Amino acid sequence: GENVEQHPSTLSVQEGDSAVIKCTYSDSASNYFPWYKQELGKRPQLIIDIRSNVGEKKDQRIAVTLNKTAKHFSLHITETQPEDSAVYFCAASPSGGNTGKLIFGQGTTLQVKP
Amino acid sequence: DTGVSQDPRHKITKRGQNVTFRCDPISEHNRLYWYRQTLGQGPEFLTYFQNEAQLEKSRLLSDRFSAERPKGSFSTLEIQRTEQGDSAMYLCASSHRDRGNTEAFFGQGTRLTVV
């Protein structure tokens, strides 16, 4: 079935350090992989996404890598800041992404200590 | 309003009562999704519409749940005979099919508490 596993569930880093969150997916036909940030009591918001024809994408301090063979993708945040503290969700769009439906991971609570 | 809006933001109901939530997507978006999120978990897909057609429903969506999008604009999600296990955040999202797999924009959700 369609499944996305996300690790770790919690991550605590010192301000300025890097943070890495990893996800694996089960449906090899998945072709779209967004990452969402959700602050307490707020809606999930897209921070970066990657499509299956690309191995890496970067946007300022945030980067995402994709390994289609291993069905892994990862979020990298460099030079973390306290405002990066939130819950991060990875997701995959299964079955070729024709529906836009997303299967989400369980989330990672990131705490950046000043 | 340029975002996805949901109403109400919070709903407390007694077990066994029926509840209905509304979602207004971004106006030019033809796809609309409902997700359910429980504490400490990621959103779980419930159902999706393309225009007014409901094209997929999760097995999580029991027969007590029904969703409509009558004119291809706003959508409603009704839960009949609510149970305590229905307590969750119900999120709506929208996207535009013709732009391929583009960003799904989420609403702020309706938090349901069944007592």
Mean pLDDT for chain B overall: 92
**What span, in angstroms and rounded, lies between the C-alpha atoms of B32 and A21?**
28
Residues in chain B closer than 8 A to A105 (CB atoms): 42
Establish if A108 touches chain B: CB-CB under 8 angstroms: no
- Is the previous residue joined to A8 through a cis bond, with omega within 30 degrees of 0? yes
- The pLDDT-based confidence of B98 (bands split at 50, 70, 90) is low
For A50-106, write each residue's pLDDT tens digit.
Answer: 988 889 999 999 999 999 999 999 999 999 999 999 999 999 998 766 778 999 999
% chain B with pLDDT above 90: 80
Closest-CA distance, B23 to chain A, in angstroms, reads 14
Can the peptide bond before residue A82 be classed as cis, meaning omega within 30 degrees of 0?
no
| Mean pLDDT in residue range B49-56 | 92
Among candidates B45, B103, B106 on the partner chain, residue whose Cβ is nearest the Cβ of A101: B45
- CA distances, A86 to each of A41, A62, A80 (Å): 11, 14, 12
Q: How far, in Å, CA of A87 to CA of B40, rounded?
A: 9
